[in-house]
Amino acid sequence: MGFEIKRFQGDVDEELICPICSGVLEDPLQAPTCEHAFCRACITEWISRQPTCPVDRQAVTACQLRPVPRILRNLLSRLCTSCDNAPHGCNAVLKLDSLASHLVECEFNPKRPMSCEAGCGLVIPKDELAEHNCVRELRALIATQQGKLTDFQQELAEQRLTINEHKRELALLKEFMRAMRVSNPTMRALADQMEREEVVRWANSLARARVTRWGGMISTPDDALQVMMIKRSLSESGCPPHIIDDLMENCHERRWPPGLCSLETRQNNRRLYEKYVCKRVPGKQAVLVLQCDNTHVDEHMMVEPGLVMIFAHGIE
Amino acid sequence: MANIAAKRIKREFKEVMKSEEVAGGDIKLELVNDCWTELQGEIAGPPDTPYEGGTFLLEIKVPETYPFNPPKIRFMTKIWHPNVSSATGAICLDILKDQWAAALTLRTVLLSIQALLSAAEPNDPQDAVVAKQYRENPQLFNMTARHWTNIYAGGPTSVWEFNQKVQRLLDMGIDEHQARVALSTYDWELERATEQLFC
Ligand SMILES: [Zn+2]
Ligand SMILES: [Zn+2]
Ligand SMILES: [Zn+2]
Ligand SMILES: [Zn+2]
């Protein structure tokens, strides 16, 4: 839709007026043969109703519309107009082709986003600043947040319900599998095989770790803190659930094999440490020495399903 | 009302006011409300037609979607013409329907309606009864149109014979306009008109 003709200085040539909206042509297009010109928005709207030229009713389709000649565009771009925000105090007089860039930065734009200096810091259109009330706006904000919170809580409750259902089903399933294993030797072999493969798959997914200072080993870690953190990290890395509790037990020297279970034996076997294939416990100063990775290690240096060694430092 | 429609109508109103047709008393235009959605037009009956000397009022309603849709225009002054309904004033004119073009203006539309009074289109009638008379009995049609112009549009030619016949029906207690419609419809044969009115 074209520009209000009253905004222009002096007379505007009839040729630059859109016959549809009677404003000064905005982004004009012309019909192919008769060359009648219209604003893009105006002619598009008209052609969507009937495919004719609105002046002489010659057949025209949307894809036949062409840009207007350069001379017409030049005439248009040289017209001098007032700013859209003239009613709000802007006195700028602009060439039509620089109007768009002026509007972006015109400080009289009543909708220019301003941030509230009175305390709330919300960004609001300039013309709403006078009516703006921080407390009211923030209350409204709190109300919407509260609404969202209620929605989330409800969703959470529903999820909990579903999770509980799944837990019950899972427990039943486990029970059933256990019964199958006990009653059927083939099933037992199969299940053991599956569990072993799962451990190998997980072991292969972990990065190799290098211990630079075996002396930093903590043989009696604090259960509550260190062990729980390690457990979470293992769980997140995909540790098969049937070995995780055993692994956690094997963090402490009381469960370590004869070759490791006291300071004295450890000092005697120190040279064997280098044989261990160690894996990273992601994000922790700890390594996993899994039995499946260390079949080459002497029996008195290994336990099922593997060892967890926590260090004060020195893991790469 | 949509910005574009109001903008157009304001401009067209000014265009009509400045036109030579207004200066010459051919057409007139007035605003009915100040939101530019309703206007009243006035056209003079063209010379050398049965409508000569009459003044015809038009109701003009501007739709929200103007100028993408035509204005809705009807005669408020009763008129006997093949392309205008003698009952409702509805006009059958292509540019007010499928031949509407967005570049047409109130001025061009009023002039087109005036031109329609000079050159009827009996093959595209709005009023079948009038059109039939126009084709089959042009002289009687002319007299009837002139009579209606005299009675409803202030035209100069009074048709004594027709006035008498209307008076006869009035005396029987018939409403005046009803009487005139019946007589005009039955080619001013008093007997047939009476028969139709009392059946
Ligand atoms: Zn336009
Ligand atoms: Zn054209
Ligand atoms: Zn400005
Ligand atoms: Zn504020």
Closest CA to B75 of B114, B106, B121: B114
Same domain for B18 and B108?
yes
CA of A88 to the centre of ligand 3 (A): 9
What pLDDT, on the 0 to 100 scale, is given for residue A23?
A: 92
Condensed to tens digits (0 to 9), the pLDDT of residues B102-143 reads: 999 999 999 999 999 999 988 889 999 999 999 999 999 999
What pLDDT, on the 0 to 100 scale, is given for residue A203?
A: 93
What pLDDT, on the 0 to 100 scale, is given for residue A204?
A: 94
Tell me the residue range of the domain where B15 lies.
3-118
Model confidence at A224, in pLDDT bands (50, 70, 90)?
Answer: confident
Question: Distance between CA A55 and CA A63 in Å, rounded?
Answer: 18
Last residue of a domain, one of B118, B143, B160: B118
Same domain for B155 and B186?
yes
Last residue of a domain, one of B72, B87, B118: B118
pLDDT beyond 80 at B2? no
B12 within some domain: yes
Same domain for B161 and B191?
yes
SS3 A260: coil
CA of A99 to the centre of ligand 3 (A): 8
What pLDDT, on the 0 to 100 scale, is given for residue B23?
A: 86
Q: Which CATH superfamily is domain A5-105 in?
A: Zinc/RING finger domain, C3HC4 (zinc finger) (3.30.40.10)
Give chain B's mean pLDDT.
Answer: 93
Work out how many domains chain B is built from and give that number: 2
Condensed to tens digits (0 to 9), the pLDDT of residues B4-36 reads: 898 899 989 998 999 988 888 889 999 998 888
Give chain A's mean pLDDT.
Answer: 91
What pLDDT, on the 0 to 100 scale, is given for residue B196?
A: 87
| Mean pLDDT value across residues A122-145 | 90
Q: Which residues 10-39 of A have a C-beta within 8 angstroms of B?
A: 19-23, 36
Same domain for B100 and B141?
no
Residue from A5, A12, A21 whose CB has the most chain B CBs within 10 Å, to mutate: A21
B123 within some domain: no
Q: What is the DSSP letter of A184?
A: -
Same domain for B80 and B8?
yes
Interface touch B7/A23, C-beta < 8 Å: yes
Torsion region of A35: left, alpha or beta (phi above 0 gives left; psi -120 to 50 gives alpha): left
Let me know the angle formed at the C-alpha of A287 by A285 and A288, rounded to the nearest 5 degrees: 150
Write out the catalytic residue numbers of B.
Answer: 92
CA A255 to chain centre: 43
First to last CA, chain A: 68
Question: Distance between CA A85 and CA A119 in Å, rounded?
Answer: 28
Share of chain B above pLDDT 70, in %: 99
Interface touch B68/A55, C-beta < 8 Å: no
What pLDDT, on the 0 to 100 scale, is given for residue A21?
A: 93
Model confidence at B198, in pLDDT bands (50, 70, 90)?
Answer: confident
Question: Distance between CA B144 and CA B29 in Å, rounded?
Answer: 28
Condensed to tens digits (0 to 9), the pLDDT of residues A63-105 reads: 999 999 999 999 999 999 999 999 989 999 999 999 989 998 8
Residue A266 has which token pair?
């450890």
Interface touch B8/A55, C-beta < 8 Å: no
What pLDDT, on the 0 to 100 scale, is given for residue A6?
A: 87
Q: What is the CA radius of gyration of chain A?
A: 39
Q: Which of B11, B12, B68 sits opposite A46 (nearest CB)?
A: B68
Concatenated DSSP letters of chain B: --HHHHHHHHHHHHHHHHSHHHHTTSEEEEESSTTSSEEEEEEEPPTTSTTTT-EEEEEEE--TTTTTSPPEEEESS---BTTB-TTT-BB--GGGTTT--TT--HHHHHHHHHHHHHS--TTS-S-HHHHHHHHH-HHHHHHHHHHHHHHHS--S---HHHHHHHHHHHHTT--HHHHHHHHHHTTT-HHHHHHHHH-
Model confidence at A114, in pLDDT bands (50, 70, 90)?
Answer: confident
Model confidence at A270, in pLDDT bands (50, 70, 90)?
Answer: confident
| Mean pLDDT value across residues B44-73 | 96
Residue A194 has which token pair?
């599956």
Same domain for B110 and B155?
no
CATH number reported for the structural domain that contains residue B37 in this entry = 3.10.110.10
pLDDT beyond 60 at B1? no
Last residue of a domain, one of B66, B92, B118: B118
A35 chain-B contacts, CB cut-off 8 A:
none
Same domain for B156 and B188?
yes
Same domain for B100 and B133?
no
pLDDT beyond 80 at A305? yes
Say yes or no: A4 contacts chain B, CB-CB below 8 A.
yes
Measured from the alpha carbon of residue A141, the closest ligand is 4
Q: Give the DSSP H or E segment for A80.
A: strand A80-82
What pLDDT, on the 0 to 100 scale, is given for residue B187?
A: 95
What pLDDT, on the 0 to 100 scale, is given for residue B86?
A: 93
Model confidence at B162, in pLDDT bands (50, 70, 90)?
Answer: very high
What pLDDT, on the 0 to 100 scale, is given for residue A82?
A: 94
Say yes or no: A53 contacts chain B, CB-CB below 8 A.
yes
The structural domains of chain A, with segments of one domain joined by +, span 5-105, 206-311
B69 chain-A contacts, CB cut-off 8 A:
49
B11 chain-A contacts, CB cut-off 8 A:
5, 22
Closest CA to A41 of A18, A74, A59: A18
Lowest mean pLDDT among A11-20, A112-121, B105-114: A112-121
Measured from the alpha carbon of residue A102, the closest ligand is 3
Same domain for B163 and B92?
no
Residue from B9, B14, B36, B68 whose CB has the most chain A CBs within 10 Å, to mutate: B68
What pLDDT, on the 0 to 100 scale, is given for residue B34?
A: 82
Question: Distance between CA B185 and CA B162 in Å, rounded?
Answer: 13
Same domain for B12 and B110?
yes
- Return the top range by mean pLDDT from A143-157, A186-200, B185-199: A143-157
Same domain for B40 and B96?
yes
Residue A85 has which token pair?
């925000």
Same domain for B11 and B98?
yes
